[in-house]
Each structure stands twice: as structure tokens, then as C-alpha cells.
Amino acid sequence: MTGEAFRKLQVRLADPLLTALTVMIAVLLFVVAPLQIAGAITGHYVGFVFEAVLILAAFMVLGSRVAFGAILVAMALIAVALALELEQPSIVEVYLDALAWLIAGLTLAIVIARVVFAPGKITLRDKAGR
């Protein structure tokens, strides 16, 4: 796939990717996290779901090297935290998770804000957000 074809695919999938990302984050925050707090699931399942969210986010931010690098750093932090938690749970993996959430959250907030408030054609997403 050439760079131009990939760029067209990315532009065409921007709205569905934002919708899927929003749904996945909502499920993570309002379903998976409460289940973890209640003790119904263990912490590493939250990490697996967060990794899935970050993979989707990485495809969305592929055009920006800085944003893509930040998402990859967050993914690496989650992977290290998962490995530490499976080996021997400690407070370090909690800090790594929190740092990954911070990096990914700030990166996605900036990227999404740039997409939503960019000049150009107004889409249904823009109308609903304003």
C-alpha cells in the first residue's frame, strides 16, 4: 500500500475511528474499571483492554510522528506494567499504568482537538460537538 493510498484510507476512516475509540474508552471507564474495583476481574484485563484502545489510537495518529511515538511509549509502559503485575504485583506497576494513562490521554486529547477544530468541511461529528 502506497503512502498516498494509506493517507486516503486514514482520512476516510477518521470518523469511524474516533467513534470506535470513544466507545472503547467509555467501556473501559464505565464497565471494565468498576468491575476491577469490585474485584470481579483482575488488573491485567484492564491493561489488555487499554492496549486495544491504544492500538486503535496509534492507527489514528499515524500521521504525526510525535503523537505516534507518545502512543508507542504508553503501549510499552502498559506492557511493562502487565509483565510486572503477572510476575509479582507491586506499586511500580500502578505508577506505570498511571503514567501510560496520562501520556495516552494527553496525546489523544490534543490529536482529537486538532481534528475536531481543524478548518475545512464540517461533518456531523463537528456539529454534535459544538
Sign of CA pseudo-dihedral 68, 73, 77, 79: positive
Give me the residues of the chain with pLDDT under 70, please: 1, 42-47, 59-62, 122-130
Residue 76 has a pLDDT of: 92
Residue 23 has a pLDDT of: 80
DSSP 126: H
Q: How is the chain split into domains, by residue range?
A: 3-129
Q: 94: buried, middle or exposed (CB in 10 Å: 19+, 13-18, 0-12)? A: middle
